[in-house]
Amino acid sequence: MKTLNIKSILTIGLMLFATFSCRDLEQLNVNPNGINPDGVVPSQMMATVLTETSMSVLNLGFQDISGVMQHTQKDAWFSGHNDYDWADQSWASYYRILRNNRHLYERAVALNLPFYEGVSVVMKSYVSGLITDLWGDAPYREAVNADNGEITPAFDSQDQIYAGILADLEKANDILIAYENGTPIENFGDDVIYNGDAAQWRRFANSLQLRYYMRISDKDPATAQAGIERLLSDPSKYPLILSSEDDATMDYVGTGSNNSWPSNSVFDSSSGSDYRRIKMCATLLEKLQNLNDPRIEVWAAKIEVPIVVDETLPAGSDEVKDGVRYISSDKFIAGQVNTDPEYVGLPPSVSALPSSYNLNPTPGQLSYNPHVSFLSEVYSKASDPLLKARLCSAAEVNFILAEAALKGWNVGQDAKTYYEEGVRQSLNNWGVADSYASYISGDAAYKTSASVDAQEEQIISQKWIASWTATTEAWFDYRRTGYPVLSAGPAAKREVLPLRFYYMQDELMLNEENATNAVNKLEETSYTQADGKNSPWAKFWVLQGTGKPW
């Protein structure tokens, strides 16, 4: 339903707009050979905004943030993924999307096209939310005003940005309600998310409201509770994404390198190295095994050569026979050798040479470790029904409502009901819905009699599992709750997980006063160390004073 030639859309986008970021603010943003934005068809601009946002979200949640949240690890080109060895992290691509989206909004208003107007307001909220969730204070009200001469935009505080996002999402719902009640006359063109379905966009907008109300729930619980209860009190006005059929996703077309799944080996000139270097992380894999989780077979490949310790072999023995590697007991080292016969994950930040883990016979850049689980083969494809960029899901929404119910808020049902529905919708997403009854009655059963903290941990841990390939939201939940309980590995840059991205040095130089003020509002912790305040281990507003996650 959402299939689209992304390559052609991105080509249009590149033709329409020059690259924009706050670090480009001292340059005149005028292209004498470009296309006048006032003459551009809104559907083309919408397609560019939606595809670029979707791919950015996927690249966050499938790459370095997947490493932070210990869904995957890499055994080559791994330092940022495994060890949080981050340098300047640019927000230029996000502000480019916001600039294109502003043009979409202006054209939609000028042409009286309320569907495009509503979508643009939703996407402004989504991308602005990502920026503040990743960096903290950031340009918001003045973010894309370079055309008007604003080259050193003020940074809005994080709490102001969240408030603006929530107000805009309410506005988007109202715009789309009015559109639905009117006479639709628009040709939706390239809506790769919902194919022009305004009701679905309303579900997306209202589900994002839930997301951001829960985001601020520790800092402003009264506002969060009132907002979530208001949304749940009027389902006709505030429909939500409650079924996986309504998820906000984008499919990959798979006809070229720029519209295919990022780890595909079809268009990889380096013989599939992007796929080859990504391994399942032991943290997630062992959790799935402990729960007898059916999703393990969808996400992970079984190891090619299991290791068996044979105590009858003489010291120093090591041989492969009939597809099994037999080693003598003296070669077994606890924590460095894993003899699970089916699935073996790469531990987080295991060493300075992760490709050597589990007696890999070919460590190094060209490693092909037969003793550690690769991702399943589907992740080497260019496209597949399972390969989607997921912006918001029914699983996420149900887990948010489970957490709200656990807090005692009036959301219509109890935490157990929403938790179970969150699990059900995630299993639906991954084609293992038939396993729901046995799974939910096994070790994944909701622990109603447990403490509130233990129930919260169970809800957030299942939400973490369900965030596979979209782990950025799991990172934001971890920061807010401390769940799931994760420990950094021995080779990590710090002994705890990071909390945010660095502000870029270019921004600190070109917009010095505003950027420096934002840095000064960050709270140093015992882990910021030589970074000072501009550190991934510093705390911004939404975490300050909460004691979370550490």
Distance of CA 122 to the CA centre of its chain: 17
Q: Are the CB atoms for 138 and 164 separated by under 8 Å?
A: no
Helix (H), strand (E), coil (C) string for 484-523: CCCCCCCCCCCCCCCCCCCCCHHHHHHCHHHHHHHHHCCE
What is the phi-psi region of residue 431: left when phi exceeds 0, alpha when psi lies from -120 to 50, beta otherwise?
left
> Which residues have C-beta within 8 Å of that of residue 339, sequence separation ≥ 6?
306, 307, 308, 309, 332
Amino acid 23: pLDDT: 39
Q: Which residues lie below 8 Å from residue 263, measured CB to CB, with a gap of 6+?
A: 62, 274, 275, 278, 375, 379, 380
Regarding the domain delimited by 396-469, which CATH topology (the fold level of the hierarchy) does it fall under?
Four Helix Bundle (Hemerythrin (Met), subunit A) (1.20.120)
Instruction: Give the class (CATH, top level) of 6-249.
Output: mainly alpha
Q: Which of 394, 384, 142, 419 is nearest to 266 (CA)?
A: 384
Q: Is the distance from CB of 73 to CB of 281 less than 8 angstroms?
A: yes
Residue spans per domain, the chain: 6-249, 276-380, 396-469
Q: pLDDT of the chain along its 550 residues, tens only?
A: 444 444 444 444 433 433 333 434 334 344 444 445 566 778 889 999 999 999 999 999 999 999 999 999 999 889 999 999 998 789 999 999 999 999 999 999 999 999 999 999 999 999 999 999 999 999 999 988 755 656 789 999 999 999 999 999 999 999 999 998 876 666 666 899 999 999 999 999 999 999 999 999 999 999 999 999 999 999 999 999 999 999 999 999 999 999 999 999 999 866 667 899 999 999 999 999 999 999 999 999 999 999 999 999 999 999 999 999 999 999 999 889 999 999 999 999 999 999 999 999 999 878 899 999 999 999 999 999 999 999 999 999 999 999 999 999 999 999 999 999 999 999 999 999 999 999 999 999 999 999 999 999 999 999 999 999 999 999 999 999 999 999 999 999 999 999 999 999 888 999 999 999 999 999 999 999 989 999 999 999 999 999 999 9
Q: Phi and psi at residue 138, in whole multiples of 5°?
A: -165, 160
d(CA 202, CA 451): 36
**Global pTM exceeds 0.85:** yes
Burial 308-342 (b: 16+ CB within 10 A, else e): eeeeebeeeeeeeeeeebbbbeebeeeeebbebee
